[in-house]
Structure 1
Amino acid sequence: MVLEIRQADQSDRDAVARLLDVAFRSDPVSSWVFPDPEHRAAVHGRFLGVFVDVALAEGRIDYAADGSAAALWLRIPEGEDEVPAKMRAVADPGNERCELVGRLTGEVHPTGEEHEYLLMIAVDPERQGEGLGSELIRPVLERCDREGLPAYLEASSERSMRLYERLGWEFTGTAVRLPDGPLMWPMWRKPRG
């Protein structure tokens, strides 16, 4: 498979946010943050739009030319402490879970070593299982390997964790437990030489 990939810009912002919304609407973490399905439908896209805004401003978004997949990357995110509060303020001010996810993942995020951070990756649900996600992130991982740069992410499901393991990420050993909710698995990928 050859996936045509381009870097998203501000004109793609809403399309990428819609893709994230559709791809993560049933995700265990999104379902925990917004337990009421009607409320989730109303605010979920705004919540994920904050991730898009951060990646556009401070990182990059690799975007399939056909709009089927997007990967949001940051190189050791700047302003990380501000992002969780911004997510809550923009998406759902009365919902402390919007902010709590970011704070809990921030507590286990590695520090002290420069790395690429896969903030989010989304594939259109109708296209999942075709290998688009792997194809989308492969160029960044190849660059990481050439430059000797590690990569980091948090898997939000066991299914996604298995995919990331096939691409060289390893569970760090300390899961993030959302109160009365699902686990998230921080994963680190050493560069392959």
Structure 2
Amino acid sequence: MGVAIRAAGDGDRELIVRLLDEAFQDDPVSGWVFPGAEDRRAKHPGLMAAFTDIVLAAGRVDLTEDGSACALWLSMPAGEGPDDHDAEDEGPAQVRAAVDPDNERIEAIGRLTAAIHPTGRAHEYLWMIGVVPGRQGEGLGTALIEAVLARCDREGLPAYLEASNARSRKLYERLGFEPAGPVLDLPDGPSMWPMWREPREHRPTS
């Protein structure tokens, strides 16, 4: 049975924020940004809201019809990185100011990932993909990604992402992503793996 997917709109904002908050509460990178469990529960939704607003305004959010999974994508022109979508180099600082001004790691994660982001070629950037905890392992994330990768193959576009844990990295490898440069080791924290996928030859159906 196929997974029904639609493009999310502004009316889906709260659903997306809640979904991402649940999906990433126990993610290693979220745990690094908000080391304390109580602090994370309180402030993590605000960070997910900031990311959601950026992508709803400048990119695309794909959402399963049942609201259990979503993927946040940005189309990156050649020579442009993620920060170019938010007031040039001020994006990470603005997110920090809006979410938790005293937390330097909110700004750091934005700047560190932007610094390793490839800019030489136009590509699709999978910023985040989240599946609610009770539905993980059902293939929903794969379906969301494959829908965009099929378009990438038709249009000859590469795709890029940063994997934030070993489980997701294995999924991305199965979908054709390969390591793209050195691992990003967060200061006193976990690793992130930049990954790149070249478009596959598209064979039109007869």
After TM superposition, the score normalised by the length of structure 2 is 0.91
Q: Paired residue for 2:85, among 76, 79, 82?
A: 79
Offset at residue 45 of structure 1 (A): 0.5
Offset at residue 74 of structure 1 (A): 0.2
CA distance, structure 1, for counterparts of residue 54 and residue 62 of structure 2: 14
CA distance, structure 2, for counterparts of residue 150 and residue 79 of structure 1: 19
Aligned partner of 2:196: which letter?
W
Offset at residue 137 of structure 1 (A): 1.4
| Uncovered stretches (5+) of structure 2, i.e. residues with no partner | 77-81, 202-206
> In structure 1, the residue corresponding to 2:118 is in which secondary structure?
coil
Match of 1:167 in 2: 175
Q: Does 1:106 align with 2:114?
A: yes
CA distance, structure 2, for counterparts of residue 82 and residue 168 of structure 1: 33
Aligned partner of 1:5: which letter?
I
Offset at residue 173 of structure 1 (A): 3.1
CA distance, structure 2, for counterparts of residue 120 and residue 60 of structure 1: 11
Offset at residue 82 of structure 1 (A): 3.0
Aligned partner of 1:123: which letter?
V
Q: Paired residue for 1:135, among 125, 143, 150?
A: 143
CA distance, structure 2, for counterparts of residue 5 and residue 163 of structure 1: 19
Aligned partner of 1:49: which letter?
A
Q: Compute the RMSD of aligned alpha carbons.
A: 1.0
Offset at residue 87 of structure 1 (A): 1.9
CA contact (8 A) 1:73 1:116 kept: yes
CA distance, structure 2, for counterparts of residue 111 and residue 173 of structure 1: 13
> In structure 2, the residue corresponding to 1:111 is in which secondary structure?
coil
What are the within-5 Å matches in structure 2 for residues 151-166 of structure 1?
Answer: 151-166=159-174
Match of 1:30 in 2: 30
CA contact (8 A) 2:7 2:62 kept: yes
> In structure 1, the residue corresponding to 2:85 is in which secondary structure?
coil
| Uncovered stretches (5+) of structure 1, i.e. residues with no partner | none
Offset at residue 79 of structure 1 (A): 2.6
CA distance, structure 1, for counterparts of residue 121 and residue 181 of structure 2: 18
Q: Does 1:7 align with 2:13?
A: no
Identical residues among aligned pairs (%): 60
Deviates more, 1:112-121 or 1:73-82: 73-82
State the Cα deviation string for residues 65-120 of structure 1 (Å, max 9, x = none): 10000000001143353331122112111000001011111111001210000000
CA contact (8 A) 2:58 2:85 kept: no
CA distance, structure 1, for counterparts of residue 142 and residue 95 of structure 2: 27
CA distance, structure 2, for counterparts of residue 117 and residue 44 of structure 1: 22
> In structure 1, the residue corresponding to 2:129 is in which secondary structure?
strand
Aligned partner of 1:118: which letter?
L
CA contact (8 A) 1:61 1:72 kept: yes
> In structure 2, the residue corresponding to 1:130 is in which secondary structure?
coil
CA contact (8 A) 1:69 1:121 kept: yes
Largest Rg, 1 or 2: 2
Q: Does 1:189 align with 2:189?
A: no
CA distance, structure 2, for counterparts of residue 29 and residue 49 of structure 1: 16
Offset at residue 139 of structure 1 (A): 1.2
